[in-house]
Amino acid sequence: MSALAGRTAIVTGASRGIGRGIAERLATDGALVAVHYGSNEKAALETVEIIEGRGGRAFAFRAELGAPDAVDTFYAALDAGLAERGAAREFDILVNNAAASGSGRIHQLTTEVFDRLFAINVKAPLFLVQRGLDRLRDGGRIVNISSAATKHAFPDSVTYAMTKGAVDTMTLALAKELGPRGITVNAVAPGYIATDMNARRRATPEASAALAAMSVFNRIGTPADVADVVGFLVSDDARWITGQYVDATGGTAL
Ligand code: NDP
């Protein structure tokens, strides 16, 4: 039987990049996947199409995570999607993957950008968990996508790195809080992965080569490199792992 058969997984920011890779992996493992997106409906529907094309189950739903009513919008849209498929409102897996980047260096930073990044990258995941606690089944899984930028200095984007530091701290506290219910909470930290988020950093062959050289495997990661780690953490095999920061950077800066 498929590892996640009968389970429902929510993946935020699953329209593109790493989130799409995670959605594909969890659907391949048998979960019904709720594919969240912010504005790019076309991309989200493509994710669903890819999954369904392989015999999996998924649906897309929208919520702008930087909006004041983000959590209400999120769960209302999720519920509509679940109801349409005759699925229960309870779920088993929440992957907090959606994030915004690009805060810039300290001298470029504005309070508006600071507030927006913290709203999307920190406030939204925390309150999505809070609001979801009565429907996340015992034995469930929460995976928060962090970043290598919390362990290696990343002055290029200081606020972004700070938001991911908050995600690591949240992971630790929630793992303790939810342990008695058999729910594990872990953070997965990618290094450079080829997605839209860093397309500009890969604009030239020289720039791409420099990013590739950061990994001991001398290549830029793929969404599947991260998705497979998440696939393990949400499986029954990872039941004894919680509160961890899992480095999925391809040996960056070893
Ligand atoms: P992408 O920029 O490729 O995709 C971002 C996803 O998040 C999209 O699905 C997007 O939805 C959604 N999203 C962004 N902003 C919002 C918002 N305001 N409201 C709702 N949804 C939103 O990102 P990646 O795949 O590269 O990154 C995924 C995760 O991995 C992030 O947490 C990122 O910080 C982390 N990470 C990425 C690294 C990399 O090298 N790529 C390295 C380290 C960490 P839509 O399509 O609708 O815009």
Q: How far is the CA of 226 from the centre of ligand 1 (A)?
A: 13
The residue-averaged pLDDT of 139-158 equals 97
Would you say residue 217 lies in a domain?
no
List the one residue out of 154, 169, 245, 164 whose CA is nearest residue 201. Answer: 154
* 150: pLDDT strictly greater than 90: yes
CA 177 to ligand 1 centroid distance, Å: 27
pLDDT of residue 72: 98
- The answer to the question of residue 49 being in a domain is yes
236 CA distance to ligand 1 middle (Å): 27
**Mean pLDDT, residues 102-131 taken together:** 96
Q: Is the CB of 65 under 6 A from ligand 1?
A: yes
The ligand 1 atom nearest the CA atom of 101: 34
Query: Which of the four pLDDT bands, split at 50, 70 and 90, describes residue 153?
Result: very high
Residue 190's CATH number? 3.40.50.720
Which atom of ligand 1 is the closest one to the Cα of 13?
Answer: 9
Query: What's the pLDDT score for residue 208?
Result: 96
Domain that residue 177 falls in:
8-195+223-247
User: 248 CB less than 6 Å from ligand 1?
Assistant: no
Average predicted confidence (pLDDT) for the chain:
97
Q: Does the pLDDT value for residue 167 go beyond 80?
A: yes
The pLDDT of 111-127, averaged and rounded, is 98
| 97 Cα: distance to centroid of ligand 1 (angstroms) | 7
Give the HSE-up count for residue 169: Cα atoms under 13 Å, Cβ half-sphere: 10
Whether the predicted pLDDT of 1 surpasses 80? no
pLDDT class of 99 with cuts at 50, 70, 90: very high
Asked if residue 79 has pLDDT above 90, the reply is yes
Decide whether any atom of ligand 1 lies within 6 Å of the 18 Cβ.
yes
In this prediction the ipTM stands at: 0.99
User: Would you call 192 a catalytic residue per the annotation?
Assistant: no
Q: Which atom of ligand 1 is nearest to the CA of 21?
A: 25
Band of pLDDT at residue 129, cut at 50, 70 and 90 = very high
In a domain, 3, yes or no: no
Burial class (CB in 10 A: 0-12, 13-18, 19+), 34: buried
Q: What sign has the CA pseudo-torsion 160, 97, 219, 150?
A: positive
Mean pLDDT (whole number) for 144-167: 97
Q: Does residue 103 register a pLDDT over 90? A: no
Residue 141 within any structural domain of the chain: yes
Please report which confidence band the pLDDT of residue 102 belongs to, taking 50, 70 and 90 as the band edges.
confident
Position 149: which residue type?
A: A
- Rounded distance, CA 123 to CA 127, Å? 6
In a domain, residue 207? The reply is no
Give the Cβ contact number of residue 39 at 10 Å: 10
Indicate whether 160 belongs to any domain. yes
- What percent of the chain has pLDDT above 90? 97
Q: Burial-class residue 138 by CB neighbours within 10 Å (0-12, 13-18, 19+).
A: exposed
Q: Is residue 87 part of a domain?
A: yes
Report how many domains make up the chain: 1
What is d(CA 32, CA 10) in angstroms, rounded to the nearest whole number? 9
Q: How many residues does the chain have?
A: 254
198 lines ligand 1 (CB under 6 A): yes
Say how far residue 226 (Cα) sits from the centre of its chain.
10
25-65 tens-digit pLDDT: 999 999 999 999 999 999 999 999 999 999 999 999 999 99
Determine if ligand 1 sits within 6 Å of the CB of residue 37.
Answer: yes
Tell me if 203 is assigned to some domain. Answer: no
Query: The tokens 């791409």 sit on which residue?
Result: 208
Binding site membership of 230 for ligand 1 (Cβ less than 6 Å): no
